[in-house]
Structure 1
Amino acid sequence: MAPPTVSLWIPPPLPESDGNATASGLVLLDRWCYIANLVNDTTAEGTTSTGVRIQVTFRAARPPLVSHFCVHCPGLDFLNAVPKVITTDADLILLCVPVYPTIGHGRDWDYFVYSLRARRLDLIPNPNPTCLCDPATVLLSREDEDGASWYAVAALDATFPVYHGRSALVRRDFYLYLYKSNSSEGWISKVMSLSDLVRDRLIPLPDTVEDRLYHETDKSIAIGGEGGTVAWVDLWRGILFCDVLSDCPVLHDVPLPVPARGNWNRLLVELDPFIFRDVTISRNRDSIKYIETESWSPRDEQPNTAPASYTEWVRNKSRKLRVFRDGWKATTWTMTIPVDFDDSHPLENCWHRHHSGIDVKDVTLQLDASNACPSNLLDMLCCSNTTEMLKGLQMACPIISMDDDIVYLISTIEPRHMDKFEVVLAIDVSKGVLRGLAELDAQKDFIFKDDIVSSDICWYLSKVTGTVEPSKRTAKQHNMGHGIKPTKQELGEPSAVHVKN
């Protein structure tokens, strides 16, 4: 039997609301939408560029369960590609929907901004002939002085490096593409230059990967503030910060911490860095959070000759290290926002180690009613040695929480006498505790793919007897980072939105 086409993915059932399903505001969101006619009080309708009616519905679940969107559009054929989530900010989601069967050019996609609170679906102009790079595209939720809401979409694209003579690298140039919903200009573009190439000095690349670009965006983060600060993250080496709404936007380069020893060889084979790294912004928008996981062993094959530091390893022509895999560990870092770009403050000192590293052997099982995993997974955990089970798992794609020390990791489990399946594990890295476990949709393949992202789409909303109400404290704090004034609902008036999963 041939595998089903993507349009035949069946939306998985989600548990009924327990009154606190999304109270924290944070959800794990599947990038790829389901094609289904499921309606609840989050459903919004719009029209594609080809004049076809389209319907979008959000279905929320408490992590580690994964939330998702459903798209219903009988006039479109989704056999070759499906709608996907590009980026999120506040209660806004940027969706990309294929509207032509070829899917070969940027004009074959429609871009929609979905608003949960307003239940709106806005079609924005196609940036054609520019093709937006999904990881380098960011959405900014804004409000003007009169209280009118608007948003901006910004995307970064690298150009060729600029040399002096034949070999002296002078600078790197980038294109900024910007669309503002409150402007009639449509998409505009600007050239930005970066001359202080900090990461080449602090985190040089091995000779074997010197053809890698100076910056390759793996994800984009909306920080907000008056200038509309954006962080474009290259998970190998650094972050480019920019106030995209300023008249003359400027790029600032901040390197990431030096790679962990267990990941040096991964540079040589150029694995996708999202497999073992993640960067996000904290709940109150006052810090950037970074995590790195690594396959870990206390010994190298040749401990007496192993390089003492990353720079020495690169200098020694990137000699390959053989690391005996004996579990994994995770290290987290934080950076205070806003970043001080004054020349007197070395950028390599921006990062502060938050946790020195949680080793898998220190992780214990501690589930409670709010984080309990399904009974079949719980039975499996209780009947096994948790440490040995976790040690044997290949953890991938860490997703660091915005509001606490929880890290979500994806793995494959193949219990005895059972079929293999993929799971999301919620681990508190500050306490070394496994808080929860959830099975992923068996119709899809999530391992080693960047298909699950964190979102604060429910930040303003808390479920009270099935009614979505704003969370007064967090909504006000969150809005400060977006230049948004509190709405009437955030000041205490209940919302009429009722979510039914």
Structure 2
Amino acid sequence: MLDRGDIGLQRRGEEEFAVADLKVLIHSDNDSVPVKVERFRYRSNAGSRRWEVKRILIRRREGTGHGLPWWTTDKVFSFEGYLCWIDYFRGILFCDVIDEYPELRYVELPVAPPEGNSDHPNFGRPDPFVTRSVCVMDGSTMRFVNVARADGEIASKRNPGSRFTMTTWSLVTPLNSERIGWAMDGAVESARLWTHDSYAELRLPLLMPEFPFVSLREPDVIYAVPRERHCGDRKTWVLVIDMRRKALRSAVPYNEVEDFCGDGDEDERWPRVTSTITNPFFPACSPCS
């Protein structure tokens, strides 16, 4: 088995549940080569306290699945009776792990996967959740949000004023359909957001939002975190972005360590962020949630 960040919990009814992990098995990046996974499963009603291991063929649409040899699980969550393993560079694996004869369905994300191995030779794998997230609302709607940088990078250092486009998609058609895919809901460009009256009135710096997360109550609202990266006291905010209006609804200072700096009034004091943050700010979009 891999690590705890790759393990998910699926329930069926009030008493039955299963804990599962997946490991992709592939030795070629040839899209025509069948791909299997090893499913590790523990069931509450199995009559045994042992983990079960089973190999399952990935069901995927023709022409998809490029890059699966470098699969890395960034997040595991449940959705409509399935456990979902997501690689933010590639796509989502759907599996009903409680089923005795499970199918494993692969759906690519609506973004181009990297060519070959995405790991940097010196720094390892970038953190794609800095600019991407998949969120489930009301247990029945899945949305993907991506902050695409103009320079094409995912999580490397960027400068103030760096342009971006924030886009959201919804997963459409039943999961058992051959035509399952994504429909774009909306997009907003940095120039449109930064020049809107609501952004200018708050006098916020022109920073790219990070760790985007779809509101669980309002599907057209995105939470995101822009943060200064210079040495010394860093200022960090949580933005509430209305994708329908393509405008900033509000912004509040964020303080990871609950310590404020500054000599002015409370409204003029900003939080001090004393560490370099590379993990999601919002617990619900954590890779281990």
TM-score w.r.t. length of structure 1 = 0.44
1:194 to 52, 58, 61: 58
Please give the alpha-carbon distance, in whole angstroms, between the structure 1 residues aligned to 2:47 and 2:243. Answer: 47
Number of corresponding residues:
254
Summarize the Cα distance change of 1:426–1:180 in structure 2 as closer, same or farther, 3 Å threshold: farther
Identity %: 21
Please give the alpha-carbon distance, in whole angstroms, between the structure 1 residues aligned to 2:15 and 2:59. Answer: 36
CA RMSD of aligned residues (A): 3.8
Match status 1:213 vs 2:69: yes
- Structure 1 position 196, deviation (Å): 4.2
Q: For residue 274 of structure 1, what is the amino acid of its counterpart?
A: F
1:454 to 256, 274, 284: 284
1:406 to 205, 221, 244: 221
Uncovered stretches (5+) of structure 1, i.e. residues with no partner: 1-129, 206-211, 301-323, 368-380, 456-501
List aligned pairs for 1:18-167, cutoff 5 A. 130-134=1-5, 136-143=6-13, 148-161=14-27
Summarize the Cα distance change of 1:444–1:244 in structure 2 as closer, same or farther, 3 Å threshold: farther
Contact 2:187–2:243 (8 Å) recurs in 1: no
- Name the larger-Rg structure: 1
List aligned pairs for 1:90-489, cutoff 5 A. 130-134=1-5, 136-143=6-13, 148-161=14-27, 170-186=33-49, 187-194=51-58, 196=60, 198=62, 201-202=63-64, 204=66, 213-224=69-80, 228-259=81-112, 269=120, 271-283=126-138, 285-296=139-150, 326-336=162-172, 338-342=174-178, 345=179, 347=180, 350-359=181-190, 361-362=192-193, 364=196, 385-386=203-204, 389=205, 391=206, 393-404=207-218, 405-413=220-228, 419-431=233-245, 432-442=247-257, 445=275, 447-450=277-280, 452-454=282-284
Summarize deviations over 1:457-487 as a string: whole Å, max 9, x none: xxxxxxxxxxxxxxxxxxxxxxxxxxxxxxx
Contact 1:241–1:252 (8 Å) recurs in 2: yes
Q: For residue 426 of structure 1, what is the amino acid of its counterpart?
A: V
Please give the alpha-carbon distance, in whole angstroms, between the structure 2 residues aligned to 1:402 and 1:294. Answer: 22
- Structure 1 position 204, deviation (Å): 4.9
Q: Secondary structure at the match of 2:227?
A: strand
Q: Give the aligned partner of residue 485 of structure 1.
A: none
Q: For residue 57 of structure 2, what is the amino acid of its counterpart?
A: S
Please give the alpha-carbon distance, in whole angstroms, between the structure 2 residues aligned to 1:445 and 1:247. Answer: 46
Contact 1:239–1:255 (8 Å) recurs in 2: yes
Please give the alpha-carbon distance, in whole angstroms, between the structure 1 residues aligned to 2:165 and 2:31. Answer: 40
Summarize the Cα distance change of 1:194–1:141 in structure 2 as closer, same or farther, 3 Å threshold: closer
Contact 2:96–2:103 (8 Å) recurs in 1: yes
Q: For residue 335 of structure 1, what is the amino acid of its counterpart?
A: L
- Structure 1 position 133, deviation (Å): 4.2
Please give the alpha-carbon distance, in whole angstroms, between the structure 2 residues aligned to 1:161 and 1:171. Answer: 10
Please give the alpha-carbon distance, in whole angstroms, between the structure 2 residues aligned to 1:176 and 1:248. Answer: 12
- Structure 1 position 413, deviation (Å): 3.6
Please give the alpha-carbon distance, in whole angstroms, between the structure 2 residues aligned to 1:188 and 1:203. Answer: 26
Q: For residue 105 of structure 2, what is the amino acid of its counterpart?
A: H
Please give the alpha-carbon distance, in whole angstroms, between the structure 2 residues aligned to 1:196 and 1:290. Answer: 19
Summarize the Cα distance change of 1:149–1:365 in structure 2 as closer, same or farther, 3 Å threshold: farther
Please give the alpha-carbon distance, in whole angstroms, between the structure 2 residues aligned to 1:335 and 1:451. Answer: 24
Q: Secondary structure at the match of 1:361?
A: helix
Summarize the Cα distance change of 1:247–1:268 in structure 2 as closer, same or farther, 3 Å threshold: closer
Summarize the Cα distance change of 1:433–1:421 in structure 2 as closer, same or farther, 3 Å threshold: closer
- Structure 1 position 251, deviation (Å): 0.9
Contact 2:161–2:208 (8 Å) recurs in 1: no
Q: Relative CO higher for 1 or 2, CA cutoff 8 Å, sep ≥ 6? A: 1
